[in-house]
Amino acid sequence: MNANHMTIGFIGLGLIGGSIAKTIRRIHPDSIIYGFDTNTDSLKAAKEDGTLNQYFETLDPTFSSCDIIFLCAPVSNNIEYLKELKDIVSENCLLTDVGSVKEPIQTAIKELDMETNFIGGHPMVGSEKSGYAYANDHLLENAYYFLTPSERTLFQLTTKFSSFIQGLGALAVSLKPEEHDFITAAISHVPHIVAAELVHLVRRADRNNGMLKQLAAGGFKDITRIASSSPVMWEQICENNSSNIRTLLTSMIHDLQEVIDQLDNKNGAYVNEYFKEAGEYRNSVPDHSIGLFDKVHKLYVHIPDQPGTIATVASLLAFNSISLKNIGIIYNREFEEGVLEIVLYDEESCQKGAQVLEERNYIVHIR
C-alpha cells in the first residue's frame, strides 16, 4: 500500500469524509482523490480547494481504479451504496466505512460476499456541526480510530490499513463489531440522547415567555452542545444501534429512579457520594484534545462592569499573540462560569491566555 501514489475514493463528503480527504491530501499530496456526494456544493468546494482531483454526481465506473474507498454517508445509505459498488470495485480495492455503528454494515458485507476486502472503521471524532464546510485536515490527530475487520478480512490488509490510518495521525484500535457498538452506545450515542432530552426538558418547562431560554447560557448550553448534531445522522445511528442504546437507557432510568427515591428520603449522604463518585470518575478521564466531539477551548473571566473592560482583556491577549475565535458575555454566574466567555483555537492558546490574564489579577476558569 504505497500511500503516496494511491487512488482513493470517497462516498460522502461531509465533516468526517471531508476531513479524512483533506488529511490525505495534506500528508500524501500526490494521491488521486475522487469524490461522490448527493450534495454538489460540497463536491465543488472540495474540488476548488484542491482536495479532490475529480468529483462525480453518480457512482461512476471510474471508482474501479481506487485502491481504497471510504464510505462516509449515513449507515443505511452506505449499505445501499455497497450494492452498487459490488459491480464497480476491483478485487484489490479496500472498502472501509466511518460509521459509528458497525454490525449492520458488517452483516451487509457478509451477505454481499465482500468480506475479504472490507475493514469497518470509525474515527472517534466529530462535532455538533456537520457538512464539508466544517471539515479540516487536523481532525484525526491523536484521535482513536476503531477498526473492525471481518473474520475473513486478509490479515495483511488490516495491518497495512492500520499503518495507513496511523500515518494520518490517528491511533488505530482493532475491535470486534459488537464490542465497538456497545462502547459507542455508552460514550457517544446515549450522551447525545441525554443531551437532547435535557434540551426538551427545559423547552417543555419554558412557559414563561421564554425566560428559561434566556437564562440557559453557560453550563446548560455547554452540556447540551452536542444536541445540535445532525438529526438525519442520529436517526440512523439510533435505528441501527437501538439494542445497545435501549440497554443503557434502561439502566439509566433505573439509576435515576434510585436518585429520586433517595431525594424523597432526604438522604444527603447518598447524594454526596453520588456526586463524589461521578466527579472522581470524570476527572480520571484523559483530557484528549480530539475525541468524540470537538473540544471547545474556553476561558471564563470575571470582570468588573466598567467601560472598556472587554477591550482591555482582548488587547492583553492580542498583545501576547493570542488569537480569539469568539468572545461574548455570559449573564449568569454558575460554578466555574465567568461573565466574559472567550473561545480560543487550541489548548496552548487557552493555557497561555489564562496565564496572561491571571498575571493581571483576573479570576480565570478554563473549560
The confidence score (pLDDT) of residue 347 equals 80
Nearest to 135 by CA among 5, 218, 45, 220: 45
CATH class belonging to 181-284 = mainly alpha
User: Alpha-carbon distance 199 to 245, whole Å?
Assistant: 19
Quote the cell numbers at residue 147. Answer: 477498526
The confidence score (pLDDT) of residue 72 equals 95
Domain ranges across the chain: 3-175, 181-284, 297-366
Residue range 297-366, CATH number: 3.30.70.260
Pairing state between β 118-123 and 94-97 = parallel
Nearest to 67 by CA among 24, 109, 131, 6: 6
Could you write out the three-class secondary structure of the chain? CCHHHCEEEEECCCHHHHHHHHHHHHHCCCCEEEEECCCHHHHHHHHHCCCCCEEECCCCHHHHHCCEEEECCCHHHHHHHHHHHCCCCCCCCEEEECCCCCHHHHHHHHHCCCHHHEEEEEECCCCCCCCHHHCCCCCCCCCEEEEEECCCCCHHHHHHHHHHHHHCCCEEEECCHHHHHHHHHHHHHHHHHHHHHHHHHHHHHCCCCCHHHHHCCCHHHHHCHHHHCCHHHHHHHHHHCHHHHHHHHHHHHHHHHHHHHHHHCCCHHHHHHHHHHHHHHHHHCCCCCCCCCCCCEEEEEECCCCCCHHHHHHHHHHHCCCCEEEEEECCCCCCCCCCEEEEECCHHHHHHHHHHHHHCCCEEEEC
Which residue type, as a one-letter code, is found at position 68? Answer: I
Nearest to 133 by CA among 66, 37, 34, 224: 37
Phi, psi of 362 (to 5 degrees): -80, 145
181-284 against 297-366: fold identical: no
Residue range 3-175, CATH number: 3.40.50.720
What Rg value do the Cα atoms of the chain yield, rounded?
Answer: 23
Nearest to 259 by CA among 245, 247, 273, 244: 273
Cβ atoms of residues 11 and 33 within 8 Å: no
Sign of CA dihedral 105, 110, 112, 116: positive
Q: Is 311 exposed, middle or buried (0-12, 13-18, 19+ CB in 10 A)?
A: exposed
Which stretches of the chain score pLDDT less than 70?
Answer: 1-4, 126-128, 217-218, 286-296, 305, 330-339, 367
- CA end-to-end span of the chain: 42
Cβ atoms of residues 20 and 140 within 8 Å: yes
The confidence score (pLDDT) of residue 128 equals 61
How high does pLDDT run on average in the chain?
86
CA 296 to chain centre: 12
225-to-166, 199, 220, 292 alpha-carbon distances in Å: 29, 10, 8, 13
User: Alpha-carbon distance 158 to 147, whole Å?
Assistant: 8
User: Which residues are CB-neighbours of 99 under 8 A, at least 6 positions away?
Assistant: 71, 74, 75, 78, 105, 120, 122, 240
